[in-house]
Amino acid sequence: MRKNVSISTEELLFHLKKKGDFFSAEKLAQDLKINFKELKQAKKELEKWEYMIESDSKKGYKLAQIPDLLLPMEIKFDLKSKILGQEIHSYKALNSTNDLAFDLAEGEAPEGTLVVAEKQSKGKGRLGRSWFSSPKLGIWMSLILRPSILPSQAPGLSIAASLALVLTTKELTGLPAFIKWPNDVIVNNRKFCGILTELSAELDKINFVILGVGINVNHTERDFPKNLRNIATSLRIEKGEQVSRVDFLKRFLEKFEKIYLQYKKTGLLTFKDECLRHSYLLGKKIKIQVGSEILEGKAENLDDNGALILRTKEGLKTITAGDVSLL
């Protein structure tokens, strides 16, 4: 795990960012209440994290480049959320962010704890499938949630997160993204986000939910294995330019927090219409595989827990989750 940097290092970064220009070393040491030696150490520590800092014997220090890494001090900088991402566990590599988050949640990790990794060696998709998570190109993250809701309401959390992802995508890239129930977000008919919701629960009480999110951000076509190129895409491919992963993650945490807090009170009620407006499946004829059963019908609505209401020949059916394809 990436160790927390010392407070003076984080403060130095904060001051340099706020200034946006050269900052006199004397003034910096004074503001940070440290001596010159400690100031140099703090600068070195930042450089160790791949920050580039210009130094000038007269003008002082200037932040020249911020690394393209999901560092806690970058994610936390100016982050407006109150719960999500207040505790961050950031790794260069993990087997699976969901697995680590699950372990942390079994301990005392507070609601909103974020686990993020540059790379997953065993990234997980639904039903034990793998999730392709190449280094530094995407956001591979998991959030620990501790909502007082029934297990049957958990599907709504995936939908709520999907909505936050759609809105974040729209705001940062202008791209029209759609919620593909139950757990994908797509642009141009291809998937760039997947959600894996796992839970520890009693029959009528959720102990905790791990909301895993994988977002393909800066992949080019050839970054995907051949078998995925027709079905997977990234923000970069669609937008035609790189997107800051840190910015995306921060905006997502802020947007999802608002939706999540509302969800805990009223379920999907408040933003169901918004979800339906951004739905990829609504009104379409689809096929859903649930376990070994295959259902066909028209996607008609969502219920207040996030389950899909399918109009079949035999009437309406409510489905918690499944593998969907268009007919």
Residues that bind its own copies (CB under 8 A): 102, 106, 126-128, 148, 150-152, 154-155, 158, 182-183, 196-205, 207, 290-291, 320-322
CA separation for the pair 40, 116 (Å, rounded): 29
Minimum CB distance to its own copies smaller for 148 or for 325: 148
Nearer to its own copies, 136 or 287 (CB): 287
Shorter beta-carbon distance to its own copies: residue 86 or 262: 262
How far apart are CB 155 and its own copies at their closest, in Å?
A: 5
Tell me 115's DSSP state. E
Of residues 55 and 289, the one with the C-beta less far from its own copies? 289
| Least distance CB 78 / its own copies (angstroms) | 34
Q: How far is the CB of 197 from its own copies (least distance, A)?
A: 5
Give the chain's length: 327
The CB-of-182 to its own copies minimum distance in angstroms stands at 7
36 class by beta-carbon count within 10 Å (0-12 exposed, 13-18 middle, 19+ buried) = exposed
Rounded least distance, CB 320 to its own copies, Å: 5
Would you say 310 and 288 are in contact if contact means Cβ atoms under 8 Å apart?
A: yes
Which residue number, 198 or 223, has a Cβ lying nearer to its own copies? 198
CB of 120 to its own copies, least distance (A): 17
Q: Distance (Å, rounded) from C-alpha 307 to C-alpha 319?
A: 5
C-beta closer to its own copies: residue 80 or 205: 205
Q: Minimum distance between the CB of residue 281 and its own copies, rounded to whole angstroms?
A: 16
Q: Which is nearer to its own copies, 72 or 267 (CB)?
A: 267
Q: Where are the alpha helices (DSSP H) in the chain?
A: 7-19, 25-32, 36-48, 72-76, 97-106, 155-173, 235-239, 245-266, 272-277
Helices (H), 4-133: 7-19, 25-32, 36-48, 72-76, 97-106
| Shortest Å, Cβ 116 to its own copies | 21
Nearer to its own copies among residue 201 and residue 261 (C-beta): 201
Minimal distance in Å, beta carbon 152 to its own copies? 7
Residue 87's alpha-carbon distances to 83, 84, 110, 111, 201, in angstroms, are: 8, 8, 8, 9, 23
43 phi, psi to nearest 5 deg: -60, -45
Identity of the residue, 109 or 217, whose beta carbon is nearer to its own copies in the bound complex: 109
Tokens of 19: 């200034």
Can you tell me whether residue 263 is helix, strand or coil? helix
Closest of 151, 121, 116 to residue 134, by C-alpha: 121
Neighbours of 278 (CB within 10 A): 20
* Dist. CA 169–CA 245, nearest whole Å: 11
